[in-house]
Structure 1
């Protein structure tokens, strides 16, 4: 994936809400780590790199964060 400028989560959420960014943009502008994790996520699940899989990846990451918070790990 291409190198991009990264933004804080609040900025990305705002851009998605305004329709400036889709979920793929969100992932690509979150962090280099997320780009790499997303690519591996798609490979592991046999998904194409597209809006739908990016949306699923963001939901997956949200779920992991919620679980970590419940365990007191985050």
Structure 2
């Protein structure tokens, strides 16, 4: 079994901008925690794993981060 590689956000953004990665690749190479949270997100929201739900998940994570920053938790 191949070891999963994770990349810093800057690398992931570059890979997305170059067209090498889509949203699902972004989520899967961000962290093991994001992979697990994404699977739970799909289960809880009745979503299929794919580009569209991965993009929704990333927006969801951005909203969580913004809310935490507003509360002073991030």
TM-score range, shorter chain: over 0.9
Q: For residue 25 of structure 1, what is the aligned residue in structure 2?
A: 25
Report runs of 4+ in structure 1 exceeding 6 Å deviation: none
TM-score (norm 2): 0.94
1:11, distance to aligned residue in structure 2 (A):
0.6
CA gap of 1:3–1:48, structure 2 versus 1, over 3 A, is: farther
Q: For residue 58 of structure 1, what is the aligned residue in structure 2?
A: 58
Which ranges in structure 1 are unaligned for 5 or more consecutive residues? none
Q: For residue 7 of structure 1, what is the aligned residue in structure 2?
A: 7
CA gap of 1:3–1:24, structure 2 versus 1, over 3 A, is: farther
Which ranges in structure 2 are unaligned for 5 or more consecutive residues? none
RMSD: 1.2
TM-score (norm 1): 0.94
1:4, distance to aligned residue in structure 2 (A):
1.9
